[in-house]
Chain A
Amino acid sequence: SQQGEEDPQALSIQEGENATMNCSYKTSINNLQWYRQNSGRGLVHLILIRSNEREKHSGRLRVTLDTSKKSSSLLITASRAADTASYFCATAPNQAGTALIFGKGTTLSVSS
Chain B
Amino acid sequence: EPEVTQTPSHQVTQMGQEVILRCVPISNHLYFYWYRQILGQKVEFLVSFYNNEISEKSEIFDDQFSVERPDGSNFTLKIRSTKLEDSAMYFCASSELGTNYGYTFGSGTRLTVV
In the complex the two chains form, what is the Cα distance from A92 to B101 in whole Å? 10
In the complex the two chains form, what is the Cα distance from A4 to B114 in whole Å? 32
In the complex the two chains form, what is the Cα distance from A98 to B41 in whole Å? 22
- Whether B87 is near chain A, meaning CB under 8 Å from some CB there, is no
CB nearest neighbor in B for A98 = B56
Give per-residue flags for B50-83: 1 if the beta carbon is below 8 A from chain A beta carbons, else 0.
1000011000000000000000000000000000
Which residues of chain B from 12 to 61 have a CB within 8 Å of any chain A CB?
Answer: 33, 35, 41-45, 48, 50, 55-56
In the complex the two chains form, what is the Cα distance from A42 to B41 in whole Å? 14
Name the contact of A102 in the complex, choosing from B42, B48, B101, B110 (C-beta under 8 A): B42
Q: B55 touching A42 by the CB < 8 A rule?
A: no
CB nearest neighbor in B for A41 = B107
By a CB distance below 8 angstroms, the chain B residues around A93 are: 99
Q: A42 touching B99 by the CB < 8 A rule?
A: no
Q: A33 touching B100 by the CB < 8 A rule?
A: no
By a CB distance below 8 angstroms, the chain A residues around B48 are: 97-99
- Whether A104 is near chain B, meaning CB under 8 Å from some CB there, is yes
Q: A97 touching B50 by the CB < 8 A rule?
A: yes
Give per-residue flags for A78-112: 1 if the beta carbon is below 8 A from chain B beta carbons, else 0.
00000000001000110011111111110000000
Can you give 29 A-B contacts (C-beta < 8 A)?
A30-B100, A31-B99, A33-B102, A35-B105, A40-B89, A41-B107, A41-B108, A42-B91, A42-B106, A42-B108, A43-B43, A43-B103, A44-B105, A45-B102, A45-B104, A48-B101, A92-B99, A97-B48, A98-B56, A99-B48, A99-B56, A100-B99, A100-B103, A101-B45, A102-B43, A102-B44, A102-B45, A104-B41, A105-B42
